[in-house]
Amino acid sequence: MAFLLRRLAFYLAAFLAAATVNFFLPRLMPGDPIQIMFASAGSELSLENLNALKLTFGFIDAPLHEQYIAYIKSVFTGDLGRSIKYFPLPVTELLGRALVWTLGLVGIATLISFAVGTILGVMAAWRRGTLFDSAVSLVAIFSSSVPAIVVSLILLFVFGYTLRWFPNGYAANPLLDPGFNWTYISSVLYHGTLPMLTLVIVLTGGFAVTMRNNMINLLGEDYIVMGRAKGLADNRVMLFYAARNALLPTVSSLAIAMGTVLGGSLIVEVVFNYPGLGNTLYQAILARDYPVIQGQLLIMTGAMLVSNFVVDLSYVLLDPRLKKA
């Protein structure tokens, strides 16, 4: 419990740091920070609306530290301002809608690639030096070296434009009404295949290598030799003695990998015109819609911290040494 509380406190500090970056960025740029921040608004926003926005971002007639407190207060009360491009849509609402798609994409892709990569890594380590091992290593090198942007563009070209097996964009057929029915869900799955596949290709190799190396480092441990000496079936030793222990460091590397996953999803969404955070952000960048761009960092950081916390939780469940102590 103490372990989890410590992690929570740390995540709070990390979130504060991301908000601090947001606060100082416009103020560090040469020129008038208010001008920079709301440049894209032009003269379209009424003075009243503009003043409300200024207040949210801490642009008040007060010393810097009071401005900071004002901004942090809005962030922690869930007020991330309003999109300038889609005024008066609140940033949280705009990003919240997009977040659902991104989380679905990222969550499922991470689960698939973690499962597949881990199993491949376990088997490669267990059959170390065989053809299978070399094949896994080779595939892993390819998978972990080719960036998401390249994989997604090639998949889009081959399966989207040339073979026309999969659609080139959107989360679902735009003519369908969203609903909890098979027609809509199958359309979502169909549209999600290529973005998902990109992330799985990019992530699986890394998990496989991590798991393989962790396993190999463990194979000489006495408890694994003892498992074999006990006459247990090969699979039992491989899974419950070796893999089960090698999983611990692999799970903690998953926490760091989440950054790559979220970054990868940004790109994939832009390439496949998928309505998640990445695409929303891309539109915001093109329109220099800074409240949305800043809100995106906070939402992404929040997503990262939540997934890190989930990793912490599963770590506690997986390692009996952390439960009581």
Closer residue to other proteins (CB): 86 or 184: 86
Shortest distance (Å) from residue 111 CB to other proteins? 19
CB of 241 vs other proteins, minimal distance in Å: 5
Q: Of 111 and 229, which CB lies nearer to other proteins in the complex structure?
A: 229
* CA gap 284, 294 in Å, rounded: 10
Q: Which residues pair with 90 in a beta bridge?
A: 82
Euclidean distance between the first and the last CA atom of the chain, given in angstroms as a whole number: 9
Rounded to a whole number of angstroms, the minimum distance from the CB of residue 55 to other proteins is 20
Least distance from other proteins to the Cβ atom of residue 265, Å: 9
Cβ within 8 Å of residue 178, ≥6 positions away:
172, 184
Cis peptide before 26 (omega within 30 of 0): no
Query: What's the number of CA atoms in the CB half-sphere (13 Å) around residue 237?
Result: 19
Confirm if 182 and 188 have CB atoms less than 8 A apart: no
How many angstroms separate the Cα of 21 from the Cα of each of 14, 36, 68, 79, 82? 11, 16, 11, 17, 19
Q: Which is nearer to other proteins, 9 or 185 (CB)?
A: 9
Q: How far is the CB of 118 from other proteins (least distance, A)?
A: 16
Strand, coil or helix: what is 90? strand
For the bound state, the minimum distance from the C-beta of residue 258 to other proteins, rounded and expressed in Å, comes to 8
Nearer to other proteins, 34 or 184 (CB): 34
Considering beta carbons, is residue 73 or 244 the nearer one to other proteins?
244
Residue with smaller CB distance to other proteins, 52 or 219: 219
| Cα angle value 237/243/245 (rounded, 5°) | 105
Number of H helices, E strands in the chain: 14, 0
Comparison of 168 and 184: residue with beta carbon closer to other proteins: 168
Q: Min. distance of Cβ 52 from other proteins in angstroms?
A: 22
Q: How many whole angstroms from its chain centre is CA 123?
A: 27
